[in-house]
Structure 1
Amino acid sequence: MRFTKDHEWVELEGDVATIGITAYAADQLGDVVFVEVPEPGKTVKAGDGLAVVESVKAASDVYAPISGEVVEGNPALGDTPETVNDQPEKAGWFAKLKIADKAEFDALMDRDAYEAYLGTL
């Protein structure tokens, strides 16, 4: 699993990356009440808006940490958005992408680097 400074995580299996937000981000958002996930076929570049998450505190974009084509959005979040709070780094994922460039994944922070980054906030 790799991480961004914007608190997204990426888990890679073959050439498909699962993307979500970290436990830290979910905690900062508060209770999630709505999630909009991307449709399959959407192509994104790293840094593009990928999904939208709304909580009792704010609405936020979830940015694509890597480039690729959406192969699946997580439809369960439409009915149970609280999964983002309950299991942010498991069942609370937003999308799966067929990655365009593995080097983008390799450039992200590993968990130790991310934890060190959180210590600076």
Structure 2
Amino acid sequence: MIVAGFGFRGAVTEAALADALAQMGDVVPDVLAAPDDKIDTPAFRSFAAKTQAQVVPVTAEALQSVHTPTQAERILEKRGTGSVAEACALAAAGPKAALLTTRHISSDRMATCALAKGERA
């Protein structure tokens, strides 16, 4: 299973989410994961519906329990993890997940996306 983990600002657009994912190449994720407090953002919901992937919310506890290769200081202070996108991807992919890509940032800097492979528990 391939999980696309996302981090994004509240004013994100579908285009920014699509841009961040497109930077991964021709990957079609099985699951889209995002922080549970942002999962109902209209642009994310609309983007997810168009991809037809399963949506998995990731709790703050789960985000904070994942060590990520990227260590962005601002995100560490705000979310307790170095990369929301990487942490979401790994947490949603399950306990034996492996990161396929570190985060990629959309052109407008409104969204990040990372990929992980795993089997959800």
Give the TM-score, by structure 2 length.
0.32
Relative to the length of structure 1, the TM-score reads 0.32
Tell me which protein shows more strand as a share of its residues: 1
Larger radius of gyration: 1
- Structure number with the bigger relative contact order (C-alpha 8 A, sep ≥ 6) is 2
